Amino acid sequence: ARTAAVIPAAGRGVRLGPGAPKALRALSGTPMLIHAVRAMAASRAVSLVVVVAPPDGAAEVKTLLDAHALPERTDFLVVPGGRSRQESVKLGLDALPAGHDIVLVHDAARPLVPVDTVDAVIEAVRDGAPAVVPALPLADTVKQVEPAGTPGEPEPVVATPERALLRAVQTPQGFDRATLVRAHETVTGEVTDDAGMVEQLGLTVVAVPGHEEAFKVTRPLDLVLAEAVLARRRL
Ligand code: C5P
């Protein structure tokens, strides 16, 4: 089965500070989005990458992709995104041509995911899982709180889930295409990841080992870490 990767890259990246849309900001001179596209194209199984661009930035993103070489075997498409990540992923799915039976959804904000992680996700879908997430154990203990109305106010702690049972999930998340399409047609209400929609269909989602370098670039400190990872790779 052929695999396509959908990359939602339409977010503003407000938490990163002022500037260009997050996906277009440079990491060691190359836009984060290009790193993310290359990370998907690095897998020999991926034959198509669909980039979901900021709604007013599709032409700019197309020009950017044309300017950066991808492997011969990889095609790409650019479509304009929506107001939420969920809507952006749906628009990417709608643009997928027939013949790709496995779909990866990968955040542009995770530019450094290693190819072995991508391949492990694809492999688990091929082995029959309808949805697969790369996941890591947590370093921090996690508390559930009663959120304060005002930022900075103390918040009552209501529970401490057992850390050994928790995982932080990353992308690419991998799906049987028909399952992901059905999830996007059926599930309403906000979710923070695509696999969560498949869980709501009552299907089993499996976790495979994620990777430290698949971290999400969200805050300014993450840019420092990403630059350091790239510098280490060049050694
Ligand atoms: O905001 P967050 O870090 O969760 O965004 C995750 C990914 O979803 C980013 O790659 C971002 O560009 C994308 N996104 C999108 N469309 C939106 C909001 C976020 O494609 N409307």
Ligand 1 closest atom vs CA 218: 3
Residue 77 belongs to domain with CATH number? 3.90.550.10
* CA 162 / ligand 1 centre spacing (Å): 29
| Mean pLDDT computed over every residue of the chain | 95
Q: Is the pLDDT of residue 210 over 90?
A: yes
- Does residue 151 sit within a domain? no
Ligand 1 closest atom vs CA 8: 20
Tokens, residue 60: 């700019």
What's the pLDDT tens digit per position in 3-49? 999 999 998 888 888 888 888 999 999 999 999 999 999 999 999 99
* CA 48 / ligand 1 centre spacing (Å): 20
Show Cβ contacts of residue 169 under 8 Å, excluding neighbours closer than 6 positions: 133, 134, 135, 193, 195, 207, 210
- Does residue 166 sit within a domain? no
What kind and span of H or E run contains 76?
Answer: strand 75-80
The CB of 108 under 6 Å from ligand 1? The reply is: yes
φ/ψ of 119, rounded to 5, equals -65, -35
Tokens, residue 163: 């850390």
- The pLDDT value recorded for residue 14 is 82
The CB of 14 under 6 Å from ligand 1? The reply is: no
- Does residue 15 sit within a domain? yes
Mutation probe of ligand 1 site: the residue of 34, 85, 171 with most atoms within 8 A of C-beta: 85
CA dihedral 36, 38, 42, 44 (to 10 degrees): 100
Per the structure, how many domains does the chain have? 1
**SS3 assignment, position 99:** coil
Q: Is the pLDDT of residue 154 over 90?
A: yes
- Does residue 163 sit within a domain? no
- The pLDDT value recorded for residue 22 is 87
Across 142-152, average pLDDT = 93
Helices 58-67 and 32-41 cross at an angle (nearest 10°) of 60
- Does residue 78 sit within a domain? yes
The CB of 85 under 6 Å from ligand 1? The reply is: yes
What kind and span of H or E run contains 59?
Answer: helix 58-67
Host domain of residue 109: 2-136+172-234
φ/ψ of 84, rounded to 5, equals -120, 160
* CA 235 / ligand 1 centre spacing (Å): 31
φ/ψ of 75, rounded to 5, equals -95, 160
- Does residue 160 sit within a domain? no
In total, the chain counts a number of residues equal to 235
**CA pair distance 227, 231, nearest whole angstrom:** 6
Tokens, residue 22: 């997050």
- Does residue 145 sit within a domain? no
* CA 122 / ligand 1 centre spacing (Å): 22
- Does residue 161 sit within a domain? no
Residue 139 CA: distances (Å) to CA of 159, 168, 178? 18, 10, 35
Q: Is the pLDDT of residue 172 over 90?
A: yes
Q: Is 217 left (phi over 0), alpha (psi -120 to 50) or beta?
A: beta
